Structure 1
Amino acid sequence: MHDATSSTPERLIRAAGLVRFVDRRLLLVRADYQTAFYLPGGKIDPGETEVQALHREVREELGVDLVGAEFLGRYVADAVGQGDGVQVELSCYTGELEGVPEPAAEIAELAWLTREEYLAHRVTAPAIVALFADLDGDFHGNRPAGLH
């Protein structure tokens, strides 16, 4: 587990996210109620597994089905826009998309961003910043530090 913060959270949100990293660009989405971009995916509902939540969220947010889901890593970081003391435990999975993703449901925007482009945004999600650092480490031939 990659812990992007050191404090104990007052509240922890469990979420699953899809990592599509192609040509040093990560598929990210922005909800209509958020400023920051984050991974397609979302909160895990009671009774759902991480993989079930991921498949449901990808279908809802991107309008396409996810084929397969391979665990990549887990990040714990401050949750953007959720208030002080709230953290997210983001379980990251890779998988293929069946079709062309388009913004759906509450998703206002979809983008393929490099690490540099993401960091240039006014608001970023700490878990995504940590994920980018690990993906760029992997891209340069090193084993990502925070991916298990």
Structure 2
Amino acid sequence: MNGKNQIRTAGLAFVRDRRMLQARSVGKAAFYMAGGKIDPGETPEEALHREIREELDADVVGVQFLGMFESEAWGHPSGTPLELHCFLANLTSEPTPTSEIAEIRFFTRDEYAAMPFVAPGSLMVFDRMKELDLID
């Protein structure tokens, strides 16, 4: 799934009580992986650090690459490819939504899948986390 309109992102898989953190941006209906777009010249891990500071006012530690997930980007024109570089990590402080984040919540895989709006890339990460027995 490669193309000039491809969106490259870095996402955080942060687990508490066997539930995974998801963030909903201001003005958006769906919850997504916390994180965001990878800037030109930036590595996925650098983007993760920058985005989590911007979105959750926290730093990531113990970062481990979980995998790269390809799907269609939710909330973009149909067929827009998404490349989600996902990392398992902990946070140095309690995640606190910043001005661009409307809400954060922790979900089990089934709770997330039952939401009215589900980001395909995030659901793929939920499936992988469930396979690894890291979430319910």
The answer to whether TM tops 0.5 is: yes
Identity among equivalent pairs (%): 43
Instruction: Tell me the CA shift for residue 133 of structure 1.
Output: 1.4
- Spell out the pairing of 1:18-29 with structure 2 (5 A cutoff): 18-29=12-23
The DSSP-based 3-state class of the residue aligned with 1:11 is: coil
Q: Which stretches of structure 1, 4 residues or longer, exceed 4 Å deviation after superposition?
A: 7-10
**What's the offset of the Cα at 1:137?**
1.4
Q: How does 1:53-68 map to 2 (within 5 A)?
A: 53-68=47-62
Q: Does 1:94 align with 2:88?
A: yes
Structure 1 range deviating more: 26-35 or 128-137: 128-137
Of 43, 67, 73, the residue aligned with 2:67 is 73
Q: Secondary structure at the match of 1:124?
A: coil
In 1: Cα distance, 2:2 partner to 2:49 partner: 29
Distance 2:43 2:34 in 1: 16
Please, what TM-score do these two structures have when normalized by structure 1?
0.84
- Hey, what does 1:104 align to over in structure 2? 98
**Aligned match of 1:42:** 36
Q: State the 1:138 CA deviation.
A: 1.3
For structure 1, the residue ranges without an aligned partner over 5 or more in a row are 1-6, 141-148
Once the 2 structures are TM-superposed, how far is the Cα of residue 64 of structure 1 from its aligned partner? 0.9
Whole-Å Cα distance in 2 between the matches of residues 53 and 10 of structure 1?
Answer: 20
**Unmatched tracts of structure 2, length 5 or more:** none
Q: Which amino acid aligns with 1:92?
A: C
| Distance in 2, Cα, partners of 1:56 & 1:107 | 15
The answer as to 2:132 corresponding to 1:138 is yes
1:17 alignment counterpart: 11
Q: How many residues align?
A: 134
Partner of 1:127, secondary structure, is helix
Does structure 2 retain, via aligned residues, the 8 Å contact 1:19–1:27? yes
Instruction: Give me the TM-score of the superposition, normalised by structure 2.
Output: 0.91
* AA in 2 matched with 1:39: M
* Per-residue deviation, 1:36: 0.8
- Offset of 1:11 from its aligned partner? 2.3
The Cα offsets for residues 87-131 of structure 1, whole Å up to 9 and x where unpaired, read as: 210000111211100111310000001111111211101111111
> How far is the alpha carbon of 1:72 from its aligned partner?
0.7
